[in-house]
Chains A and B, each alone.
Chain A
Amino acid sequence: MKRLIINEPGLFIGVKKEMIVVKRKNEKILEISPLNISQIVILTRGATISSALMRLLTKYKVDLIIYSSSGFPIAKLSSTRISGSIKLRKEQYKAQDLPIGAYLTKRFAWAKVVNQKSLLREASRNRSNIELSKKLLEMSKSISNIATMIDNIEGNNANSIRSEVMRLEAEAAKIYWQGFKLLLPEGIDFPGRRKKFENPEDPVNIMLNFCYGLLASEVLLAIEASGLDPFAGFLHIDSPRRPALVMDIMEEFRQPIVDRVVLRLISSIKDSKSIIEERRLKRDFRFQIVKAFSERLSETLTFHGRSLPLSSHIFLQPKRLANFILGRENNYIPFTLR
């Protein structure tokens, strides 16, 4: 999967002879066929896009996504010629009030907790410090117990068990972020996990929030391709502001993709203060994150008996969910690394 990332103000992206052309002050710097890319990502504020480009992109089904400076997708261009998936959507809304809704609620939370466990356990094997590795292993064990507890909750619909699942999930998260802190290199301060609306000031949380935004857009595109309604969720409560199903499916991929990318990147940074200004990431670093994130997406992993790049696994999960909701599959297997 190739993407064109626009990260420099003042660039013009237009069309010439059915080719995408990028110009810097009338000087052509790039020319590529729309068949060769699958996404245009706009990170900067000052890029110019022609309407001819928008036509071309919808014709070739290339996504155009605009990100906010905090890494959340704020706009997406898509063709109006989409097909309706009425039956699937009706079943999806119905499922929220059925036992399968409760089942899915548990599955998403379970996957997240299991992935948290495996990240800590894997880290504990790689550490030379015996004390530390022991501690991490203990933490992963207690998270593992919580996973079993989540699996054993009983209920007839998503609403009735949500608060209990969320409570256990928060408990696991508390242990997990303590463990995560131990994995950070010395000199990097991490006051604990802070979400975007809490306006964190430390580089780790800002990086995490930025990457979760990138992941959200990836999952959103996959959900839209599957025909499911991204706003009707199971584990997360429906909200007109937040795509709940995106948040649900994201849970499976947070640790395997984002947390790993952040851990990898943070070890290469010497001065953590140099990457942020006014609670935002600097332009060139933002760009490094997107690069590292895309590289992680193209890494191949085996799951469900298929060895595919991570981006394909993200694409397949909503399809599997749709098949499960329509009754074509007997169960839904969330993406986990064990």
Chain B
Amino acid sequence: MKRIEAINDFVIKFANVNGSGSASANELFAKAVMRMGVPVSPRNIFPSNIQGMPTWYEARVCEKGYHGRRGGVDMMVAMNPQTWDADVAEVETGGYLFYDSTRPLPASKFRDDVHTIGVPLTDIANAAYSEPRQRQLFKNIIYVGALSVLLDVEAQVFETLFAEQYKGKERLLESNVQALHLGRNYVKEHLQAPLGIRVQRADNVGDQIFTDGNSAAGLGLVYGGATVAAWYPITPSTSVPEAFQKYCSKFRVDPATGQHKFAIVQAEDELASIGMVVGAGWNGARAFTATSGPGVSLMTEFIGLAYFAEIPVTIINVQRGGPSTGMPTRTQQSDLLSCAYASHGDTKHVLLFPQDPHECFTHSAAALDLAERLQTPIFVMSDLDIGMNQRLCKPFVWDDAQAYDRGKIMTAEELEAGKPFGRYRDVDGDGIPWRTLPGTHPSKGAFFTRGTSRNPQAMYSEAGPDYIYNMERLLRKFITAATLVPQPVFRPAQQPTRLGVIYYGSTSPAMREALDVLERNGVYVDAMRLCAFPFPDSVSEFIAAHDKVFVAEQNRDGQMRTLLINELEINPAKLVRVLHYDGTPITARFIIRTIHDSVAKELV
């Protein structure tokens, strides 16, 4: 029988039962591979349910460092009887099926074209442990141990990881090491190892860190100086405020007084959470909320107020499958239009598109600066794929000399010195007016903030010219925004080409891989990764310079394409959709196939 042979390049998938404690064992496995110097990108696949239901953990081991989902499974660790049939069916021909052989299964449950590896995990665990919970938890470590021999991962690496994890808890350390070796010894004694797929020490991880986007965003918000957070629980954004809370407790508690340099409120709903952020932003604190699609829907009235009344607001939107409750635990990039134009009337909002945890950190911190600089809502458009999965990325850096950009805030001294103040006057020509904070000065600079139309002095006015002045100024401000947001990243093809591709956010790692493969196959494509909306001129120039531009994204309707057409007045025929939206992260295979098909069609 054919067997898949691959060193440092395979996909292993763990099928587990939710609540069985498998998550930490699977993460342990991924970390061990990484400590072998081999890049790994794992993904949690969890339907929207809790205890007892199926979950999967798919880890791609890839020496070249492609973090996108590859597609296909080379080895299935089938630990969930409920999903057995589907799991077995997913394995590539010549691949491997690892299972708990304690109870015999009929031959019909297996495949002829897949190598079956049985380890009596339950027997081993039951023989070694008496408590049911221990039996369950250590069974997970036992399978990790067994896999380590099958895939040739060094025992020492695990032992070091355990030592770090259970520092000061010697009993736990010992028992974990023991469980690991129970698995290792069984394989050494009874099975042939290593398999055709295996891990070999390499040096391709470097100084990269392994973290998830939501933790990184929470940390970025601490570094960016957010002091007020208001939020309402929703998957997959909840871990953003949780991370913020964790890092604030660590870094923002005054050691002398025990007092907090932050305020976090779990609001009663999204209406209240954005309302609190609006109030805090109005009053000069850096404030944020984190949510997902349904939350954004509820927030839109307030987002319109913040846009029109010009109040700094930061919203971390960790996108999931919509519309409505859609697929709450699956990933998509389908909130683009609802965020770009959130609320009634003519509105336009700044969107940032982080591509990995590193950028979740930088963009979240930058969003707070931009919000104050531009006095407007800023959306960080993360998604479940980047937000909830750990990924290797560049380490976090911060320039300690950097102060926060508080934007145009007029001080009491400036007012006292006679600097003229008109809340909605465009004195600098960039569309951004000056503001004062409540309580600044006893007699100067106070104004009334409202969602109704007003004149440049902030006085209520329904006069047409006042309204137009304001709306035009807001547009001017949006043009200024295009110069302040992170700029697109251009990757030229190795040969001149009339083909281009535009992509953004979590599509990036799959795109990087796809472009390499296409290039190897002689298909040359210039690529532009969008980092923000509004689009700077370089985006129109890029599109103008190509005959055909693919727009790759993870939604049904090609929302980025729509945004490009709408904002840049581009001939729609020029922009070709590459759309993946089944809730799983887009793969390089999918991008390659779609672009290939399109190019091939052109040739016939």
A binds B: no
Taking Cβ atoms with an 8 Å cutoff, the residues of B that contact A are none
